[in-house]
A = this chain, B = another copy of it.
Amino acid sequence: MSFTIIATWRMAFEGVSEATKILRDNGSASEAIETAIKCVEDNPLYTSVGYGGLPNNVGTVELDAAYMNGDTLGLGAVASIKDYANPVSIAKKLSEDRFNIFLVGSGAEAYAHTQGFERKNMLTQLSNKAWKERMKEIHEKNLSPYDGHDTVGMVVIDHNKSMVAATSTSGLFMKKPGRIGDSALPGSGYFVDSEIGGATATGLGEDIMKGCLSYEVVRLMEEGYTPQNAADKAVNDFSEKLKRKNGVVGAISLVCINNQGEWGVGTNVEFPFVVASDQHEPKIYISNNEDGKKTTYTIANL
């Protein structure tokens, strides 16, 4: 049974391992990706996604998530949602609808409640402590408050050649209440079309959304670029353009898979990611951009 799954950051490893079991047993991309992302959301030690996510500047955890079905282009997203355990599952449920597929804030919470999703206080002692320490640091050292923005994003192709993409994040640490980044935005944080391929991004959402980078990578693969060349070209061309036009560019990393299960990675910072396929068990890689042109990667130690 042929399949490939790619995911952002080292924290995706256990989730990708779970997904791999499902895909080996002929499970669907849809089931695999939801299981994998929930595994990251549920882990309190991963402080940029789901339970134990880092709070905003008033100490509240606000979550963004999305799900896209590459067979139909159906998508669902929630943003700035509080107190629900698995935002990705709410996004997936929304992706089945024709209207009202992207819900934010209290409206998203009201929808989740009517659909029977579990309420949960997503703030842990650990993330509360990190918030208090950061508040103190910011005041004492006059630091920029914004730091940390690691979205878990995944793309999967299953044995039926069905593709899906999904994301989940607590967003920028110390963000303003109501801030949403690229992770919930179609074309920016994720995009997938089973006829072509899929991509997902992580980094400074405010900059990723200025380039619609996940859409751009998929489009380049449609034009005939390999996943690796598509990811490199999208990240490097856009980083260069934004630096030229705006003076500065934030961290941007992208992973992608084409409709043959071949994968690629593009980044302008050091960036770990996870890949598994029918050919091999999940592996963690660390990627780097050496010269502003080409991303290189090596297998990381566990």
Contact = CB atoms under 8 A, between A and B. Distances in A.
Contact of A107 (B100, B176, B241): B176
A180 interface: yes
Contacts of A71: 245
Contacts of A262: none
Residue picked from A79, A175, A181, most chain B C-beta under 10 Å = A79
Contact of A206 (B79, B98, B246): B98
Q: How large is the interface on A (under 10, 10 to 19, 20 to 34, 35 or more residues)?
A: 35 or more
A258 B175 CA distance: 35
What is the copy number of this chain in the assembly?
Answer: 2
Interface string A87-112: 00000000000111111111110110
A187 interface: yes
18 contacts: A71-B245, A73-B210, A73-B245, A75-B209, A79-B104, A80-B105, A98-B248, A99-B175, A100-B206, A103-B178, A103-B180, A105-B107, A106-B178, A107-B179, A186-B188, A186-B209, A187-B188, A215-B216
Interface of A: 71-75, 79-80, 98-108, 110-111, 146, 172, 175-181, 185-188, 191, 206, 209-212, 215-216, 219, 241-242, 245-246, 248
